[in-house]
Amino acid sequence: MNVLVVLIPVSLILGGLGLFAFLWTVRTDQYDDNAGNAERIFLDDQ
């Protein structure tokens, strides 16, 4: 049981950091694809 006293807070902290990192990437438009496949068909390959 003593291990749970350490592992539960550590897992909550790591989960919170992961959630924070994900929300930061969403808010800073990291997943926007401005030159996506729908627009690439119109570009010339030179």
The two structure tokens encoding residue 7: 């592992």
User: Is residue 29 a part of any domain in this protein?
Assistant: yes
Q: How many domains does the chain have?
A: 1
| Residue 22 belongs to some domain of the structure | yes
What per-residue confidence (pLDDT) applies to 17? 98
Rounded Cα gap, residues 22 and 16, in angstroms: 10
Task: Give the residue numbers spanning the domain of 22.
Answer: 2-40
What is the model's pLDDT at position 23? 97
Residue 45 counted as domain residue:
no
Given this model, what pLDDT does residue 3 score?
95
pLDDT at 46: 62
Q: If DSSP codes are grouped into helix, strand and coil, which group holds residue 30?
A: coil
pLDDT (0 to 100) of residue 12: 98
Q: Supply 21's token pair.
A: 């990192």
pLDDT per residue as tens digits for the range 1-46: 899 999 999 999 999 999 999 999 999 988 887 767 777 777 777 6
Cβ neighbors of 43 (< 8 A, separation 6 or more) are 35
Whether residue 34 lies inside any domain: the answer is: yes
